[in-house]
Amino acid sequence: MTINRRSFLQLTGAAVALPALQRSAFANTPDVVSLERYQTDYRNQGGRSTCYAFATCAAIEAAYKRKYGLNLHLSEQYAFHVNKVFELYPTYLTDRSILHENNSSYWGFQGGVGLVSKLAVCALPEASAAPYLLGAKMKALKDATPACGELEGKTATQEQLDAFEFLEAHVPLAARYAARYRVAGFFELPGKPSPGEIESILAGGREVIAAVWGGKHVVLVIGYDRVKQIWLVKNSYNEGKPVLWPYDKANIVHASYVKDVMPPGEPQKDAWWIGRWHMDHDGHQGELVIRRTIDFRQPHGPTKLGNYYAGGKRFDVNGATIDGGQGLRFWVADTQDRVKPGERRGLEFIAYAFSSDPHNAAGLMTAGGVPFGVRLSREDIAAKPLRHFSAEAWRGTWEVNLDGTRESLSLASVSPVSGSYRTAHGETVGARGYLNAARPHLLELQIAGAGGERRLHLAFHGQESDVFSGIVAWKGRNLGVSGTRIS
């Protein structure tokens, strides 16, 4: 896998390059260095070929322990999943012989010391949210899910890979909502590093993620003894303690290290979008599958996010997250053929995941220059067909879900628009606005209150009864909003 190191470093705000390691500096490093005091527990990868996920998580954990005093156990299961599913094959558009667009967590290997670059973009949750599964459990999950098929090489379809990757028992949705630990800066050593280069990094207080045994295994090097020519290694073979490997036995061929980590804080909202969504746009229903929110090779701009399925047909979906990851702007292609990743083709959608209810999202889509409502949910969406729509359909009382907060709207008249709005804090204020005369399914509302003015851009779902969706501008942010009729 080729990583565009410069693009990643620019994206994460890290330095583009470090000063060249001068061999004269090696003489100034101690003969013996150990970073064992910063290490978290020693763990076991079992029979799965997941060594690079364990080594990289261990490096990130050590960085958090050193800087913030946190004793973390980050999810190796999730890190491996990121490496496999979030990556889009560069040959997606040209190689039709492969029926899928990314790797599978069911397969081993397919990664190395470069995983650290991906975890500078994609945050990790703790292991309690996505526990590590041994090989027998992974196989049991596959065998218990007929839609997975056998997951064999080129013949595995994208739908079979998705059936496995998005199993709740594999990576729970809760883990996606809790991904908050991320690399702030990293460096990949060019070429085959010398022992002196590795020693210099360790002496500088950072562990080294190293591909050893000629590249067949990845470990975390946490110290050295130059006189004895011994590396101190944190391995993932259930040793329960550091192991000692001679320099020549280790045969390090690739290496990277974590320079810094992000402060622990709010979850990374981009991860909220990954997985399966039920989607309803103006009464038209289908399934949206989001596999990634970024192209690791070209991290700026839209990419192929996944696919949309409706009526037995599959359409490519391109787009990117917006507004700090809480929003998603995407296009559902107007053809069933493969579309160039990132191309803005087809119907355009803008949706926002609800802050306190990320199982749901809402927003607007545009068809022929006309806005319509869209709502998304991790659960089934029930729709009741609408026989006839008129502006009077807006009258009544509505339960409003504004960014996950339950409020209510009562409209007594639509000509002119007048009514009241009750906030989650029990404040009742006036609602004023106007209908679009040419397209009465569109309603603009202004709600003034102690919490600041809300400006709601709403679209009645013209193909189904008693539902609206839209976007609200509030406190300098755009948020999703949806409503269902109470009376």
Could you tell me if 223 and 282 lie in one domain?
no
* 297 beta partners: none
- Secondary structure letter of residue 372 according to DSSP: E
Could you tell me if 274 and 253 lie in one domain?
no
* Residue 90 burial by Cβ neighbours in a 10 Å radius (0-12, 13-18, 19+): middle
E runs forming strands in 27-123 = 32-34
Task: Give the whole-angstrom CA distance, residue 127 versus residue 41.
Answer: 12
* Residue 16 burial by Cβ neighbours in a 10 Å radius (0-12, 13-18, 19+): exposed
Could you tell me if 153 and 104 lie in one domain?
yes
The CATH number given to whatever domain includes residue 229 is 3.90.70.10
- Domain final position from 234, 261, 288: 261
Could you tell me if 239 and 274 lie in one domain?
no
Per-residue b/e over 126-153, b at no fewer than 16 CB within 10 Å? bbebbebbeeeebeebbeeeeebbebee
Could you tell me if 280 and 425 lie in one domain?
yes
Closest CA to 220 of 210, 206, 229: 210
Task: Give the whole-angstrom CA distance, residue 103 versus residue 119.
Answer: 17
Helix-strand-coil split of the chain, %, nearest 5: 20, 35, 45
Task: Give the whole-angstrom CA distance, residue 458 versus residue 35.
Answer: 57
**Full pLDDT tens readout for the chain, 487 residues:** 333 333 333 333 343 333 344 444 455 899 999 999 999 999 999 999 999 999 999 999 999 999 999 999 999 999 999 999 999 999 999 999 999 999 999 999 999 999 999 999 999 999 999 999 999 999 999 999 999 999 998 899 999 999 999 999 999 999 999 999 999 999 999 989 999 999 999 999 999 999 999 999 999 999 999 999 999 999 999 999 999 999 999 999 999 999 999 999 999 999 999 999 999 999 999 999 999 999 998 888 899 999 999 999 999 999 999 999 999 999 999 999 999 999 999 999 999 999 999 999 999 999 999 999 999 999 999 888 887 889 999 999 999 999 999 999 999 999 899 999 999 989 999 999 999 999 999 999 999 887 789 999 999 998 888 999 999 999 999 999 999 999 9
Could you tell me if 244 and 339 lie in one domain?
no
Q: How many domains does the chain have?
A: 2
Could you tell me if 182 and 289 lie in one domain?
no
Could you tell me if 333 and 430 lie in one domain?
yes
Could you tell me if 416 and 286 lie in one domain?
yes
Token pair for 101: 């667009």
In degrees, rounded to 5, the angle at the alpha carbon of residue 88 between the alpha carbons of residues 5 and 130 is: 90
- Domain final position from 204, 235, 261: 261
- Domain final position from 228, 261, 294: 261
The CATH number given to whatever domain includes residue 299 is 2.40.128.120
465 and 377 Cβ atoms separated by less than 8 Å: no
* Residues of the domain holding 360: 269-485
Could you tell me if 344 and 390 lie in one domain?
yes
Could you tell me if 274 and 410 lie in one domain?
yes
- Whether this model's pTM surpasses 0.75: yes
Could you tell me if 221 and 128 lie in one domain?
yes
159 and 146 Cβ atoms separated by less than 8 Å: no
